[in-house]
Chains A and B, each alone.
Chain A
């Protein structure tokens, strides 16, 4: 079917009407271009958001202590709820809690925990987080040298710290710092680990110290400000149930109403993640539908123009039939013409679309909302398949019309 002769026929037909072939091709190229660009942008949005999620484990739940808004067992409202080490131990025993870490805020709040760090004459301030060993998994930090904090560090209140690579760079000018000493607010610590993180750069400008050491060093008694845990591969519903269990346990221990919305604040990353996934799936479907509509417009355009071409070529088709062209020869030539035109045009659109996305990825700054716009291979292959099919669809009606041309009518002298 795809003989060199046929190609010659197809190409010379297209070349006979270069402007028309070009305009037809533009319609299809535009359709594919839009489809690719829209899908790529959607992907960029999703990537950006997923990246901001990849900072922390997506299946994690954070529970902060708040202030009571309901009286409970004779206790007044506006009572501040702060968890403690025993509470941490209790939650640890709850079935379904996978990895658990508590965090103690040296300055009492989540933000503004920068402490003075000194190495020799170099002094700066960095955020210091006081955590349990499992924090590694919640933060999805990646150790590049040494180790993270361990249970022994916590049990023995060791003065050890795991630091982000930029911190080491800043303090020593290099990252070969395992075993080096540094002072946090005048207290000497030993560096035992160096980590990196997939999240934004801010996550690297951190120091981690055992929560027990921090409680001792910064006057924390046994306070735990946040409990953070992962839930394994539980779904949204199971996770909500687990959160209720943990809240109930804490409510009992800290004596507040389990249904008091103010007593604790819960950040359920899994729920948020699921919501975002849903939103992006909807956006993607929307984009697909829009892209498909653009493509359909392109296909109708091709079909239309091919139809006109067939009408114009009625006489030619009549002559060819008189000379022995079978209907199939005529049909396949026109289909090949149509598929070829759409394939070439679509490919140009595809390349242009991917080109634009690459340019955008290069020009636009990476942000939490947008990063690495791209179309993956499956989309590319899918688009190619769509092109082939649409070419055939676009050519179908004109080809059938051509096959039905009666040589008697076509050859009649006007």
Chain B
């Protein structure tokens, strides 16, 4: 049963100016991701998948086309609007975790709520619930430097979830982890997907992509196949 699209790309084009060259990074990318899907975006380095991810994450703009996110056209946003949309719609999971090193796990998880103007108490209480959900309640007061890679990524996932986003964007979420930990992280992402949240994983690893319901392959800035 086809679910309504949470995210729709129509003929997205993106250029980069490199010196006097104009690099055509994304060429007429069309894609549609349904609400509650678990999708993998695959491609070799240079295929444009990072650029696509940045556009999906409203971290970067595009030159032509349309990007619809939850029936909202995401185009030519001011930085402030972009920040609000990211905060409301998107949860990020990065390869290198990107936790703030001087903040404890619970403070890191609570950060998106800070930008929503949630009070400190409520924020930290909610953050504790999400830490429990990823199995790290006992580590709440630890700093990232005291944690293993897998634990850090769990904290990052909790942080991505706390703002109740429409989609989770995971950029090589297992790239810095060993295979056992990678499997655990993918289990966690699958679990999140099972709870009804759209998850988009960018990866170049086939076994990671294999856990997705659908794979979007990029090559030279074009969508090669959607299977």
A residues with CB within 8 A of B: 4-5, 8, 12, 16, 315-316, 318-329, 403, 406-408, 411, 413
| CB-nearest residue of chain B to A318 | B98
Query: Which applies to chain A's interface (DSSP): helix, strand, loop or mixed?
Result: helix
Tell me, in angstroms, the Cα distance from A324 to B87 when the chains sit together.
Answer: 4
Tell me if B112 is interfacial: C-beta within 8 Å of chain A. yes
Contacts of A319 in B (CB 8 A): 98-100
Closest 8 CB pairs of A and B: A324-B87, A324-B115, A326-B83, A326-B80, A319-B98, A323-B112, A407-B59, A327-B79
Judged by a CB distance under 8 angstroms, whether B148 is at the interface is no
A324/B116 contact (C-beta < 8 A), A407-B59, A408-B60 known: yes
The answer, among A8, A16, A403, A411, for a CB contact under 8 Å with B98, is: A411
A322 and B57 in contact, given A5-B120, A16-B102 (Cβ under 8 angstroms): yes
Shortest CB-to-CB span from B97 to chain A, Å, is 10
Q: How many residues on the B side are at the interface (Cβ–Cβ under 8 A)?
A: 27
Q: Is B159 a contact partner of A328 (Cβ separation < 8 A)?
A: no
Residue of B nearest to A6 (CB): B114
Q: Determine which of B54, B60, B120, B159 lies in contact with A323 in the assembled complex, contact meaning CB atoms within 8 Å.
A: B159
Per the 8 Å Cβ criterion, residues 101-146 of B in contact with A are: 102, 111-112, 114-116, 120
Residues of A within 8 A of B163 (CB): 323-324
Known: A319-B100, A329-B83. 7 other contacts (CB 8 A): A316-B100, A322-B98, A323-B87, A323-B92, A324-B86, A413-B95, A413-B96
Binding site for A on B (CB under 8 A): 54, 57, 59-60, 79-80, 83-84, 86-88, 92, 94-96, 98-100, 102, 111-112, 114-116, 120, 159, 163
Shortest A54–chain B CB gap in Å is 60
Instruction: Give the chain A neighbours of B80 by CB distance below 8 A.
Output: 326-328
| A408 touching B59 in the complex, CB below 8 Å, given contacts A323-B87, A327-B79, A413-B95 | yes
Say whether, besides A324-B112, A411-B59, A4 and B120 are in contact (CB < 8 Å). yes
In Å, the complex CA distance between A406 and B58 comes to: 11
Interchain nearest-CB distance for B152 vs A (Å)? 13
CA distance A329 to B54 in the complex (A): 22
Q: A12-B102, A326-B80 are in contact. Are A320 and B111 (CB under 8 A)?
A: yes
Report the separation of the CA atoms of residues A328 and B80 in the bound assembly, to the nearest whole angstrom: 8
Residues in chain A near residue B86, CB distance under 8 A = 321-324
C-alpha gap A185/B189 in the complex (Å): 114
Contacts of B60 in A (CB 8 A): 406, 408
Query: In the assembly, what is the distance between CA of A16 and CA of B103, in Å?
Result: 11
Q: From B112, which residue of chain A is reached at the shortest CB distance? A: A323
**B60 closest partner in A (C-beta):** A408
Min CB distance B176 to A, Å, is: 9
Instruction: Provide the bound-state CA to CA distance between A117 and B11, in Å.
Output: 114
Q: Which residues of the partner chain B approach A329 to less than 8 Å between Cβ atoms?
A: 83, 115
Question: In the complex, are the beta carbons of B100 and A322 less than 8 A apart?
Answer: no
Report the separation of the CA atoms of residues A8 and B124 in the bound assembly, to the nearest whole angstrom: 14
Chain B contacts for A323, CB-based, 8 A: 86-87, 92, 111-112, 115, 159, 163
